[in-house]
Structure formats: structure tokens, C-alpha cells
Amino acid sequence: MSRAVLILFLFTLPVSLISQFRHMHYNLTLYGNPFSCDENNNNTDAKDAALDVIIDYAQPDLFTVNELRDGNLWANRILNNVLNDDSELWARASLTGQFTSSSILNGLFYRSDKFFLESQETVHLDLDGGLLLRPIDIYNLYLMDEGLFSGDTTRFSCAVAHLAASDEQERSDQTEAFVSRIEELGPGNYIFSGDLNIDSAFEEAFQNLVSHPNDMISFIDPITISPNWNNNPSIAQYHTQSTRFSDTNAGCFSGGGLDDRFDITLLSQSILEGSDGISFISDSYLVLGQNGNDYNQELQTFNNGAVPDEVATALYDMSDHLPVLTEFNTEFILSAEQGAFEIPFEIFIQEQSISVSFSRQDDYQVELFDISGKLVKSRTSLGDGLRLETPSGGIYILRVSNKAAVGIKKILVN
């Protein structure tokens, strides 16, 4: 039995839509085998297979990494073999090995149907002009939303750091130089993630980030926990290293069990307040695979509880770190003037579903919003159509996007 649907092509009033994206930060543990690791104790094919399982489960839209070996071969391997193994939606930033003597780099991968990488830069010199051990990379992106049509899209910056493991002063120099650059850039939407190698919130390197005299420059830890992180069982659910205790793959991985909160995501005040188009979703901060019961032990892969055993095993195989997930709402205004570059598509409503068909095959993101702007359904189509479960009666906005264009229709379901 079919249900009536009215397609409303004109918007008489602006409508504010809220979409979402998920960020995942992950130390890949010497991906590409620099230093003493090799294909025997850190097999790249096995890492790709594990990462594929993790990505399929976590479903990030924005993916930042540490310990990616210098050279396009390795970044392209992740892009092609893992992220784009069944689509062409993912893109990546350029590597910045020219700014460091280190053979392990930071990286950014992103959904090109949701984000556009506008520019990138590195903070690679300390305040005295000396070369930092490892640079902090800043990636400047904007949302692929309807604001593109009016030049008023939402921008944000994603910074990725890998602080020195055994040199507290070097860690401080790294964050001091980074904050100095943020002072020059000015307040805005910033997401700062990395393997910070810090034991507590009292360390100077961390205080440089969170205690700036200008609140709009300071970064904020989105979770409220004890400031003492190392060997503190009360914050076990936020410990990210090490997934191994004694089995270190012949010294390639770190051991000692899960007792350090090294991998952290911090946010600018504007994102926590949601004052500039992007807002943090409360309680979305998650250490993937961390069940809170493996303190000072290796990651439990059987009956993990936090993730399916297949995912827990992939996390154990992939890295001695666990990834950190955060989620964000994005708000944009849909007005009557928008609709340039529209993707043509057709809608037919049946009793249990909405069918959406496209005039040509492509990778499409399909989102259904209610009239208040809340995201109701989101699906990815890898062909020429898909079906969504039918919502209850009312007015809805259907938004279809790919890497090049956006199509929008308002529908009335009786």
C-alpha cells in the first residue's frame, strides 16, 4: 500500500538543519614499519585487515592518525586498501615529512562528501626558532553544506600532535609553539587530538593548552575526570595504552597493560558552546574497545563487552593504542535561494519505506531531517538508489549529496 507524498520544491522560510559527524583519532603504531619493526612483528597486510574491521565498526567521517611512516606509499595504502575499499568517498591531506627529521608523521583522512580541505600548515619550530622533534599539523576544513552556495559555510581546524615520549621539556616546547600559532590565527572551531605522552593534567605541556589567559584560545578537555591519569584505576575507561601486557611482538609494541591516558582529544570553547556552527555532542567521548575492566592488563578480546570480539581482536592486532572517538553536531541554514548544482533524484513512498532513486550511479549520502532540523535517518548509497524506513506523517527534508553537489527536497508524508 502506497502513502501520499507531496514534494515541495520551494522553501518559503529558512530552515536550520542539524547534521552530525564523527571524529576518530588513532596512533597506528609504526604503520609502514620504521625503526625496529618489520613485516614479521608488525605485518602491514594484517594491520590493513584489522583497521578495515575497526573503520567499518566505528564509521568515522574524519580520521586523524599518529605514527604513519613518511612517504605517500603508506598514506595511499590506507586510503585505497582500507577507507576506499568499497567507495571513493575518502580523501587525505598531504604529508609533512619535509618539516621534520622524524620518519613517523601525523595524518588526516576525511570524507570528501562531508568536508573540504581548504589548507594545511605545520608548527615545526619552537619559539626560539629551533626544529621541534615532531611538528604539530593543522588542517583547515569546511563543511560541504548549503552555505557553500552563499560563501557562508562553517569552517573548523583539526590539529594533530604526537608529543615527545621521553622529554618533558620538548613536549612543553611543542605545545607552547602550537598555542602561539593559535594566538596568531585567533579564536575559532578547533579540534586538537594526539598521542600526548603525558601522565597528568598538571604537566606544563598540557597546561600550555588548557590554561591560556584568553578563554577563547584555551582548549578544554570535554570529559571531567581526575587530573592524575597514569596508573589511576578510577579513570580506567579512558586509558588508551597499552593493549599489550607482555606480548609486545618482539618489542615492536609497548607492553605494560592499559594504564595510561596518552591519546586525547581537546576542543575549543566555541565548539563546546556551539557558537559557530559546530557543537560537541555531550557524552560522545569514547575510547573504543575500553571496557574499564582491563586496568594494567592487556585488552580483553574475548567477551570484551564494549565492542564485539571481532573488533576487540582487530584493536589488539592493529596497535598498542586504542582510538578516541568524538561526535559533533553541525548546523546550517537552508533557504529558498539555495539549490544550485542540485542532484536530480526521485522519491516514492510505500507503506514501510521511502525509495530514493538517482539518475546515475555514484556514492551518495542521503539524510532525512524533520521540520525542526533534527537528523532522523542517514544512509550511504553506493549505486543508483536506496530505501529508508518510512517515518511517521509530517513534513521532512531529504538531502542528498556527493563529492560535487547537493540535492534537497522538502516532502509531506500523510
User: Within this chain, do residues 135 and 162 fall inside the same structural domain, yes or no?
Assistant: yes
| CATH (domain of 106) | 3.60.10.10
Return the pLDDT at 390.
Answer: 65
User: Within this chain, do residues 258 and 394 fall inside the same structural domain, yes or no?
Assistant: no
| CATH (domain of 359) | 2.60.40.3080
In a domain, 164, yes or no: yes
Is residue 126 within 8 Å of 166, Cβ to Cβ?
A: no
Number of folded domains in the chain? 2
In a domain, 373, yes or no: yes
In a domain, 7, yes or no: no
In a domain, 4, yes or no: no
User: Within this chain, do residues 26 and 121 fall inside the same structural domain, yes or no?
Assistant: yes
Q: What is the mean pLDDT for each group of 10 consecutive residues in the chain (414 residues)?
A: 43 55 98 90 97 98 97 96 91 92 95 90 97 97 67 86 96 98 97 98 98 94 98 98 94 96 98 94 97 96 97 98 97 49 70 74 80 75 72 75 73 70
In a domain, 297, yes or no: yes
User: Within this chain, do residues 245 and 272 fall inside the same structural domain, yes or no?
Assistant: yes
Last residue of a domain, which of 275, 304, 330?
330
- Sign of the alpha-carbon dihedral angle for 175, 328, 114, 339: negative
Distance CA 203, CA 199 (A): 8
Is residue 100 within 8 Å of 61, Cβ to Cβ?
A: no
Last residue of a domain, which of 305, 330, 355?
330
- Side-chain half-sphere of 322: how many Cα atoms within 13 Å? 34
User: Within this chain, do residues 101 and 222 fall inside the same structural domain, yes or no?
Assistant: yes
Return the pLDDT at 145.
Answer: 64
User: Within this chain, do residues 296 and 379 fall inside the same structural domain, yes or no?
Assistant: no
Helix (H) or strand (E) holding 350: none
Distance CA 5, CA 3 (A): 6
User: Within this chain, do residues 322 and 368 fall inside the same structural domain, yes or no?
Assistant: no
In a domain, 3, yes or no: no
User: Within this chain, do residues 130 and 216 fall inside the same structural domain, yes or no?
Assistant: yes
User: Within this chain, do residues 311 and 357 fall inside the same structural domain, yes or no?
Assistant: no
User: Within this chain, do residues 32 and 107 fall inside the same structural domain, yes or no?
Assistant: yes
**DSSP output for 230-252:** TT-GGGGGG--B-S-SS--TTTT
In a domain, 402, yes or no: yes
**DSSP output for 19-38:** EEEEEEEEEEEEET--TT--
Last residue of a domain, which of 295, 330, 365?
330
User: Within this chain, do residues 77 and 194 fall inside the same structural domain, yes or no?
Assistant: yes
From 57, 29, 24, select the one nearest 304 (Cα to Cα). Answer: 57
Provide the whole-model pTM.
0.81
User: Within this chain, do residues 283 and 387 fall inside the same structural domain, yes or no?
Assistant: no
Domain that holds residue 366: 345-413
In a domain, 12, yes or no: no
